[in-house]
Amino acid sequence: MSEFDFDLFVIGAGSGGVRAGRMAAAMGVRVAVAEERHLGGTCVNVGCVPKKLFVYASHYADDFEEARGFGWLPGEAHFDWPTLRDNKTREIERLNGIYRNLLVNSGCTLIDGRATLVDPHTVAVGDKTYSAERILVAVGGWPYVPEFPGSEHVISSNEAFYLDQFPERVLVVGGGYIAVEFAGIFAGLGAQTSLIYRGELFLRGFDNEVREFTAEEVRKKGVDLRFGTNIEKIEKLADGSLQAYLTDGTVLDADCIMYATGRVPKVTGLGLEQLGVELRDNGAVVVNDQFQTSVPSVYAIGDVTDRVQLTPVALAEGMALVRNLYGNQSQKVDYELIPTAVFCQPNIGTVGLTEEQARERYAAVDIYKSSFRALKHTLSGSSEKTFMKMIVDRDSDRVLGVHMVGPEAGEIIQGIAVALKAGATKAVFDATIGIHPTAAEEFVTMREPASS
């Protein structure tokens, strides 16, 4: 009989933790999963899923207007925030229930409550302690809001999903994908929206042309972009509205100010430091290729390691961990060519190297690109444009990166990511017959490089 209560104790029932727990249990491993909040983690509750639902909602104003060019004459539309908010919440609660059933039915012991590490083989939840041969930390991240005068009046993306009233005037602060996405959501739902970012241009780390093109398109959607400035202080007025004093001397009035200035690993009070688990300056758990921390019996996956903060990456890490620990395999997660999307308006889809990265790594690079107004908008009247870009190593003809800004960019780039993972060359793209008429066919009809 084992000396431990469990073989594997998972702290956190987000995407990575749930996947690891279920897979291990299916292999006959005795698994416990502890969660202090909602099952499904950030993605299901205050991330990917509800955000995408809000993105869908934010498109309808444009859709109603564009329908006129196709002969549809809709009446005046009215947006009702409580309907969207509450329907979203019901869907999230349904998903919470599914996650609970998945864990329980797989054979995991589900423990509701905040878990902390007592020693390398002991976890405490409330007034109970549990022993485990191995402990997996999969607690994810949490929005970071800096402290400054009036910072107590702002919200993060967590609260944005549950607002009592929809604001008429919104300030979104930040330059990452969460900030850009929420600026588009608020603007699309009818709020007067400003996006404030201290840098020269948002979406740092993306291809520069993609960033510039996206900024132009976001402005077309009515978002007031204010780069090179930041909020110095916020004052709350007697009527409940807010005044933001910017570093450039501007004062902006708002009903809601949302900070999307990054996320940090959710490790405070977890007990990692007391155990001697090595953490980076931002609290990220340091792990090796096998997701093992500096304490051999403690492992970590997902956003808490701050490697690549994407749900599918956490899933891949969870699966690799379990296969290696209990399936006698030796898998490593490949972090190259991870496709990603930004659900701003229009969407961004990207996989592989940016032009800037490619020029640093390769001697000769060819750039293929196209910018056009989609067929739909010849009748809709919209000025929205689509941008596509392909980066090719001239010496090997291998495609190094593909980027798109336009409707359904994520759906299109997912398929192209498979091709890049398989090592596709530009010749393979050229030999592929396009689907006409689609925007995607542009990727197989780019014949001449725009620059070399």
Q: What percent of the chain has pLDDT over 70?
A: 100
pLDDT on residue 451: 79
Please list, residue by residue across 344-356, b when 16 or more beta carbons sit within 10 angstroms of its beta carbon and e when fewer do.
bbbbbbbbbbbbe
Q: DSSP assignment of 364-403, as one string?
A: -EEEEEEEE--TTHHHH-----EEEEEEEETTT-BEEEEE
Position 255 confidence tier, pLDDT thresholds 50, 70, 90: very high
Paired sense of beta strands 169-173 and 192-197, if any: parallel
Edge-first strand order for the sheet with 365-372 is 340-342, 348-352, 399-405, 386-393, 365-372
Q: Is the pLDDT of residue 1 over 70?
A: no
- Give residue for tokens 């961004």: 348
- Give residue for tokens 């890490």: 317
119-139: pLDDT as tens digits: 999 999 999 999 999 999 999
List of domains in the chain: 6-141+264-326 (3.50.50.60), 151-261 (3.50.50.60), 340-444 (3.30.390.30)
Q: Average pLDDT of 35-51?
A: 95
Contact present, 58 and 345 (Cβ < 8 Å): yes
Q: Which residues are catalytic?
A: 436
429 CB-near residues (< 8 Å, 6+ apart): 390, 399, 419, 443, 444, 446
Contact present, 138 and 32 (Cβ < 8 Å): no
- Note if the pTM is more than 0.85: yes
203-222: pLDDT as tens digits: 999 999 999 999 999 999 99
Q: How far is the CA of 312 from the CAs of 16, 302, 315, 340, in angstroms?
A: 8, 9, 5, 10
Position 75 confidence tier, pLDDT thresholds 50, 70, 90: confident
